[in-house]
A and B are shown apart, each in its own frame.
Chain A
Amino acid sequence: MQIVLIEVLNGLVYGMLLFMLASGLTLIFSMMGVLNFAHASIYMLGAYLAFTISQFLGFFPALIIAPILCGALGAAIEIWGLRRVHHNGHTAELLFTFGLVFIIQRLVQMTWGMLPMAYRVPPSLDFPLFELYGANFPAYRGFMLLVSAGMLLGTWLLLKKTRIGLIIQAALTHPSMASALGHNVPFVFTTVFAGGCLLAGLAGVIGGNYQTTEPGMADAMGPIVFVVVVFGGLGSLAGCFIASIIIGMIQTFAVVIDYSIADLLRPLGVVLTGDTLLTELLTVPVARIGALLPLVMMVAILLFRPRGLMGTRDA
């Protein structure tokens, strides 16, 4: 029982981290129709920047500065890059962000080297928050939950309750009408792209010391974030939220489940022997194939519900 409770909390922390990344991706996608392949690279950049800034100024200034730098980079990418290739169609935009992945990846390796960074949890947050049946829950994870919940609330308020949010929503569905009413739609696009990158940077700051800050972190995170966005339904923020939590939970629970399909079949009287591909598939414990589960889920949802959980349209 205690394992379940702790794992639910851990899954929530991871799920919220995923959501912070996936929400930016979804916003950018639903607004501009651009899937930003470099999103996870911005996340990695956020972690590295936070590491460097926290060495000089401490963790909390880094929490503010690093995401702003990422947002500024996002704005620059939109203005000088995406806008130029926009007239060549969506595939050109996809290709452009895909090329960015390479460049950011190598630039990070060239600036900070190939080894993992010693980006640690700040001492002021490095204590057990509470104890649950003998297992500690670190205060930093509580802090992560707090930040991501605050960001969720902030984004929701911004989109639903302010005039800026109203214009963004209008530009999202009726860009030419919003433009005819005198709103600067390209500027709105830049803002949204920068905002998405800011969220990715923020996720990098709090995720960098929760996971490890190393050059492979973008490659590790990227596919999972894409799975979340597809699973939740392209362009749906609510679906994206649900998918993030589900996949966060699955990823954390998979690690502690040491059963395989063969164990489920055993009570039915099915005993597997031999050494073939099929028996290997059936007897591999869930803990070992944890990384595979989100991808399998994505393929499954595409087979049975191609628009994802909450998507309103086939993309």
Chain B
Amino acid sequence: MKYRWLILALIVVAIALPWCFYDWTHHRQAGFLISMLSQMGMMVILALSYNMLLGQAGLFSLCHATFFGMGGYATIHFLNGAGDGTLPVPMELMPLLAGLSGLGVAILFGSMATKQRATAFAMITLGIGELMATSALMFHHFFGGEGGVTTNRMIDNSLFGLSYASGLQVYYLILAWTVIAAALMYFLTLTPLGRMANATRDNFERAQFIGYDPRMVRFMQFALSGFFAGIGGGLYAITYEIVTYDALASSLSANALLMAYIGGTTVFGGPILGAILITLLQSGVSLLSNSWLVYVGVMFISMVIFAPTGLAGIIKTHGPIRQAGRLRLLVVPYLRLTIPSLGVLLGFVGLVELMSFLTIGAAQGKKLVLFGGPVDVHAALPWAISGICLLVGGVWLRFEAAGFHRVWESLSAEVRR
């Protein structure tokens, strides 16, 4: 475990963070921060379990939210049962039941979907995801239709005597389960199953020749990833005490994909990074802008084209240079890259925001306010400034990128020697 200290630091920060923003004068917890951190925990589980498919087994699944959502719906019913006293399970073990529900659903659908791989697999999972999402709106008994199902999480049955009335207690429950699930998923990559998943991803015919059934490997990987997604869904249900159609809609599946891919599918910790980043963006940028999905979409496409290994992959490629002690030679090239990048970013964001304020913002009656003053979206000046920023920045960036590439190539050639 090379990154033991990093992991430990991450856990300590996660435990301490709510207390850093504690309002000591009023003795109040920072509610927004805790709900954001809770959301991050669930999304970390979702993204990691999604990466069991995309990164480790090379399976592009589009129904991952199905298992998350089914875990959530099941947990609502379990909690209601526990509230009635018909289900004597302590709160701390509820996510385990949710995971088992996710596992059951994943076994059912996995037996169909994992017959195929690659493109056909993607299409089948798309169909399954749509099937479940549509069913959720139609059948009231289990899914509660459009209104969803609700519960009360104070079931008065806890291993540690906790009531789970406050968000903080729930957050620590989420944190504990996130750490457990992440550790289990990490150890799974070291088992023969995890290794065979990598083998079938890279060359399924050779895996077949050695005597393994790639379909079985896909199936087991799929089922287990459903189990972990179910845990995430269970935590979702406990936190919000309501589960609606959103928890298994296709947009959540897409979110899982975005988080795992942007974070980096080739490194185990990549999806964690992606989940934290996307959740931050979601709760930060979506308050400011109508069009945060455009930014995420553009970021995603640029990653697919320019950096298929994701953010964690980019960081990882710096490893050999860092070991050779030459990392500081990259500081100046990076700084030179930053200035035109900022120009491109500013121009692009400017154009997108101007455009969205022209239509969506106008319909909502909002006005664009920048640098303390209102900006007239119909005037030519802001459009021209953004356009020039984008153009000049783009040309400059191309020039700088070529220079950076030269430095990078010579450095990595030197390190290899």
Query: Do B119 and A35 touch across chains, with their CB atoms under 8 A apart?
Result: yes
Q: B123–A96 contact, CB under 8 A?
A: no
Q: Point out the residues of chain B lying under 8 angstroms from A113, CB to CB.
A: 359-360, 362-363
Residue A42 CB within 8 A of the other chain: no
Contact B131 A110 (CB under 8 A): no
Please determine whether B139 and A90 come into contact, CB atoms closer than 8 angstroms.
Answer: no
CB-contact partner of B119 in A33, A103, A107, A280, under 8 A: A33
Asked if A281 contacts B139 (CB within 8 A), the reply is yes
Known A113-B360, A276-B141; judge A85-B305 contact (CB<8 A): yes
- For A314, the chain B residues whose CB sits under 8 A away are 115-116, 120
Q: Are B304 and A92 in contact, with the CB atoms below 8 A?
A: yes
Contact check: which of B127, B135, B142, B300 meets A102 at CB < 8 Å? B300
**A262 CB–B CB distance under 8 Å:** no
Is A315's CB under 8 angstroms from B119's CB? yes
| Min CB–CB distance B77 → chain A (angstroms) | 11
Identify the closest chain A residue to B122 (Cβ).
A94
Whether B300 pairs with A226 at a CB distance below 8 angstroms is: no
A219 to chain B, nearest CB (A): 8
- Whether, in the assembled complex, B291 has its beta carbon less than 8 Å from a beta carbon of chain A, the answer is yes
Please determine whether B308 and A284 come into contact, CB atoms closer than 8 angstroms.
Answer: no
**Closest chain A residue to B113 by CB distance?**
A302
Interface string of A285-315 (1 = CB under 8 A from B): 0001101100110110011001000000011
Is A100 a contact of B301 with CB atoms below 8 Å?
A: yes
Q: Which of A114, A281, A302 contacts B115 (CB 8 A)?
A: A302
A227 lies within 8 A of chain B by Cβ? yes
* Residue A84, interface by CB 8 Å: yes
A115 adjacent to B363 (CB under 8 Å): yes
Q: Is A109 an interface residue (CB 8 A)?
A: yes
CB contact between A94 and one of B119, B130, B305 (< 8 Å): that residue? B119
Q: Which residues of B contact A99 (CB under 8 A)?
A: 297, 300-301, 304
Residue-wise, chain B 293-318 has the 8 Å CB interface mask toward A (1 for contact) of 11011101100110010000000000
Chain B neighbourhood of A94, CB < 8 A: 60, 119, 122
For the residues of B in contact with A, the DSSP-based class is helix
Cα separation A35 to B125 with both chains bound (whole Å): 14
The range of chain B's interface size is 35 or more
B360 touches A114 (CB 8 A): yes
A95 touches B261 (CB 8 A): yes
- Given A91-B60, A110-B355, A303-B112, CB of A315 within 8 Å of CB of B120: yes
User: In this assembly, does B352 line the interface, its C-beta being within 8 Å of a C-beta of chain A?
Assistant: yes
Give the distance to chain A from B27, nearest Cβ to Cβ, in Å.
43
Name A76-97 residues within 8 Å CB distance of B.
81, 84-85, 88, 90-92, 94-96
Residue of A nearest to B294 (CB): A106
B291 A102 Cβ-Cβ under 8 A: no
> What's the Cα separation between A105 and B296 when bound, in Å?
13
Contact A90 B119 (CB under 8 A): yes
Taking the closest CB of chain B, its distance from the CB of A272, in whole angstroms, is 14
B356 at the interface (CB under 8 A from A): yes
Docked pose: A19 CA to B14 CA in angstroms: 52
Question: Is A96 touching B127 in the complex (CB atoms < 8 A)?
Answer: no
A85 to B308 CA separation, bound complex (whole angstroms)? 9
| B122 / chain A contacts, CB cutoff of 8 Å | 35, 94
CB closest residue in chain B, given A227:
B127
Q: Once bound together, how far apart are the Cα atoms of A223 and B355, in whole Å? A: 29
User: Least Cβ distance of B260 to chain A in Å?
Assistant: 11
Query: Are A277 and B60 in contact (CB-based, < 8 A)?
Result: no
Nearest opposing residue in chain B for A308, CB measure: B120
Interface residues in B339-378 (C-beta closer than 8 Å to A): 352, 355-356, 358-360, 362-363
Asked if A253 CB lies within 8 Å of chain B CBs, one says no
A106 touches B297 (CB 8 A): yes
A226 touches B123 (CB 8 A): yes
Interface residues of B in 105-155 (CB under 8 A from A): 112, 115-116, 118-120, 122-124, 126-128, 130-131, 134-135, 138-142
Contact assessment for B141 and A111 in the assembled complex, using a CB-CB cutoff below 8 Å:
no
Please give me the residue from chain A that is nearest to B142 by CB atom.
Answer: A277
**18 interchain pairs, CB-CB under 8 A:** A85-B308, A91-B58, A95-B300, A98-B257, A102-B293, A109-B356, A113-B360, A115-B363, A223-B126, A226-B127, A234-B119, A280-B140, A284-B139, A292-B138, A295-B131, A298-B131, A306-B115, A314-B116
Residues on B lying within 8 angstroms of A by beta carbon are 54, 58, 60, 112, 115-116, 118-120, 122-124, 126-128, 130-131, 134-135, 138-142, 250, 254, 257, 261, 291, 293-294, 296-298, 300-301, 304-305, 308, 352, 355-356, 358-360, 362-363
